[in-house]
Amino acid sequence: MMLTGARILMECLLEQGVDTVFGYPGGAVLNLYDALFEYRAKIRHVRTAHEQAAAHAADGYARASGKTGVCIATSGPGATNLVTGIATAYADSVPMVAITGNVARPLLGKNSFQEVEITAITRPVTKKSIPVQDVSELANVVREAFFLANSGRKGPVLIDIPKDVSAQTAEYVPAPRRSPEQSPPPSRESLRRAAAMLSESERPLLYGGGGVIAADAEREFARLAETLDAPVSCSLMCQGGFDQKDARYLGMLGMHGTKASAEAMKNCDLLIAVGTRFSDRVLCDAGRFARNCRILQIDIDPKEFGKNVGVDLRLQGDVKAVLGELLPLLTQRRHETWMQCAEQWKRDYPMRQQGQGAEDVLPQDVMEALCRLAGPEAILTTEVGQHQMWAAQFASFRNPRTFLTSGGLGTMGFGLGAAIGAKTAMPERTVVNIAGDGSFRMNCAELSTLSRERIPVLELIFSNSTLGMVRQWQKLFYGGRFSASDVEDAIDCEKLAQAFGVRAMTIHCKSEIEQVLSEALNCGEPVLVNCPVGKDLNVLPMVPSTGSVEEPILAMDE
């Protein structure tokens, strides 16, 4: 059948199972939005207050559901406003298809109104950026974009559609959805060598990264831990990839990881790294990382082997598939003394924040109460800063895809858009965004999206009138010179929320934590909870970027 480019796009989105797109209209995408109106019974459109939030919402939708997120923006500034969100998804390997409009083809390259070469701008932060030259190419380009976004190491793909292409007509022929390309399994010899390495280890430490969740491999990862009889640590991106109520779990590893994980790293004889890229926030001083052990790395991306740290054996492939091949080669191990050491380290170095007074509000108490009240199926998103680390340290994640955070790019402003996407994808689940003052100022206009779309997300702000993580570094390394890090101003976030049509409340003291959170979680509407905390609360443990991950700072002299 003959269809316009805009309608071909809609039909291809339906082919790919898309039910929701996030975006903001503009001149170059008016044909697309006219088609969205026609297809509104099949494809929901959520208009955010800013294009960056549309990209973050598509990202959050993908992380929460495991499907591919989709966002749309117009040309020029609309397209460039997506770039931070696209880069965020790229850094964390999130499948996304970003669709931009552009000026009509005769105007390309002439510095036309709202024209940028968005495919060139986004090439470094996408798996592929594809300009559509003719309407006859459009259907295959869309299909290729979804295929690429989900093949191998997942990530974002951008499609740029000139306005006249979306108006042209062409023959549309339906096609079935193409399955993602599967990575070939490791050789049998490599698997046998890995099995031998695992059987020889007396003090194994299992370390999981975001690839565990991306591959839906949490069950295989848990079976590996049980079969090896090994303690487990996870990266920031793997929170929820292993049940944190399991006695084997030691906490995060890295710059703000637990002392128990640091001790396990120092004393293990084999580190089994699964689906992780060994980021600088985990390694800190790479020269002093894992000095006393061998490393077995399992990852889908061959570029990650040896990039940041040398490894003794590599197994390339999809984590779920590799573990599926490896587990039958292993026999049940028992490491009672090693596991007793791990348990003792957890007792010796508990995670506990200290306040000055009995009624002081501490993030640890808030996060523990939130998790207890919201339950293990709740999805927590975060902005970036101290609050992000407090959420990772003190919340208890028992299921995958319940902690959505910007790990690689560290994007302030990510969380509220991601919460909008997560709640849209999983409407039956409780969704809470954890924020700080600085991040809240970056995306507070998205409260209008919550209100207009009636999306019942809880926005929880740890407000301390400062850029807390910046202040903490200035305290430690810049002589206490707090240059531009205080954000004491006249903003009343409760009144601001109410102006947007969002309910607001405040936790004033420790005894109010449970009552306020319970009311907020059960009100059935968008709600903001302001939670003032002390300006000089720190995120501890902490490893300086030049320090050894095995020797974290446990206390700071104020």
Outline which parts of the chain fall under CATH 3.40.50.1220: 188-348
Q: From residue 63, give the alpha-carbon distance in Å to each of 59, 122, 348.
A: 6, 21, 35
423 vs 439: CA distance, rounded Å: 20
Mean pLDDT of 276-283: 94
Outline which parts of the chain fall under CATH 3.40.50.970: 2-171, 363-532
In the numeric block, the tokens 């205080």 are attached to: 486
Beta strands in 38-171 (DSSP E): 44-47, 69-73, 96-102, 128-131, 156-162, 169-171
What's the CATH number of domain 2-171, 3.40.50.1000, 3.10.180.10, 3.20.20.70, 3.40.50.970? 3.40.50.970
H or E segment at 412?
none
State whether residue 381 is helix, strand or coil.
Answer: strand
Distant-in-sequence, close-in-space partners of 504: CB < 8 Å, separation ≥ 6 = 493, 494, 495, 497, 498, 527, 528, 529, 530
Mean pLDDT of the chain: 97
> What pLDDT, on a 0 to 100 scale, did the predictor assign at position 56?
98
Question: CA-based diameter of the chain, in Å?
Answer: 73
Q: Which of 11, 51, 220, 550 is catalytic?
A: 51
Which of the residue ranges 249-263, 369-383, 479-493 would you say has the lowest mean pLDDT? 479-493
Distant-in-sequence, close-in-space partners of 418: CB < 8 Å, separation ≥ 6 = 56, 57, 59, 60, 63, 381, 404, 433
Q: Which of 469, 472, 505, 550 is catalytic?
A: 469
Reading the block at residue 437, the tokens are: 């003052």
pLDDT 10s digits, 507-522: 999 999 999 999 999 9
Q: Which of 15, 67, 114, 339 is catalytic?
A: 114
Q: Which of 1, 38, 113, 515 is catalytic?
A: 113
Q: Among candidates 65, 63, 138, 68, which has minimal Cα distance to 98? A: 68
pLDDT 10s digits, 413-440: 999 999 999 999 999 999 999 999 999 9
H or E segment at 79?
helix 77-81
Going by pLDDT thresholds of 50, 70 and 90, the confidence category of residue 557 is: low
Cβ density class 182-192: b for 16+ within 10 Å, e for less: ebebbeeebbe
Going by pLDDT thresholds of 50, 70 and 90, the confidence category of residue 490 is: confident
Q: Tell whether pTM > 0.95.
A: yes
Vertex 158 angle, CA 142 and 279, to 5°: 125
147 is catalytic: no
419 burial (CB, 10 Å; 0-12 / 13-18 / 19+) is: buried
State whether residue 162 is helix, strand or coil.
Answer: strand
51 is catalytic: yes
* Domain 188-348 = CATH 3.40.50.1220: yes
Cis peptide before 541 (omega within 30 of 0): yes
> What pLDDT, on a 0 to 100 scale, did the predictor assign at position 102?
98
Q: Among candidates 401, 415, 336, 315, which has minimal Cα distance to 52? A: 415
Is the confidence at residue 558, as pLDDT, over 60? no
Q: Which amino acid is at 311?
A: V
Is the confidence at residue 80, as pLDDT, over 80? yes
pLDDT 10s digits, 97-156: 999 999 999 999 999 999 999 999 999 999 999 999 999 999 999 999 999 999 999 999
Q: Cα–chain-centroid distance for residue 25?
A: 26
H or E segment at 434?
strand 431-436
pLDDT 10s digits, 10-30: 999 999 999 999 999 999 999
H, E, C per residue of 316-352: ECCHHHHHHHHHHHCCCCCCHHHHHHHHHHHHHCCCC
138 vs 128: CA distance, rounded Å: 15
Q: What superfamily in CATH does domain 363-532 come from?
A: Thiamin diphosphate (ThDP)-binding fold, Pyr/PP domains (3.40.50.970)
Is the confidence at residue 347, as pLDDT, over 90? yes
**DSSP label of 236:** G
Q: Which amino acid is at 103?
A: V
Going by pLDDT thresholds of 50, 70 and 90, the confidence category of residue 408 is: very high
Distant-in-sequence, close-in-space partners of 293: CB < 8 Å, separation ≥ 6 = 203, 205, 265, 268, 269, 270, 271
H or E segment at 503?
strand 503-506
Helix segments in 351-507, DSSP class H: 363-374, 386-394, 414-425, 437-443, 447-453, 468-477, 493-499
Q: If you count them, how many residues does the chain have?
A: 558
Is the confidence at residue 68, as pLDDT, over 80? yes
Q: What percent of the chain has pLDDT over 90?
A: 96
> What pLDDT, on a 0 to 100 scale, did the predictor assign at position 168?
97
> What pLDDT, on a 0 to 100 scale, did the predictor assign at position 44?
98
Mean pLDDT of 327-339: 98
User: Listing from the earlier edge strand, what are the strands of the sheet with 458-463?
Assistant: 403-404, 379-382, 431-436, 458-463, 527-532, 503-506
551 is catalytic: no
State whether residue 480 is helix, strand or coil.
Answer: coil
> What pLDDT, on a 0 to 100 scale, did the predictor assign at position 365?
97
Strand partners, 466: 486
554 vs 223: CA distance, rounded Å: 32
22 is catalytic: no
> What pLDDT, on a 0 to 100 scale, did the predictor assign at position 354?
85
Q: Which of 127, 163, 259, 346 is catalytic?
A: 163
163 is catalytic: yes
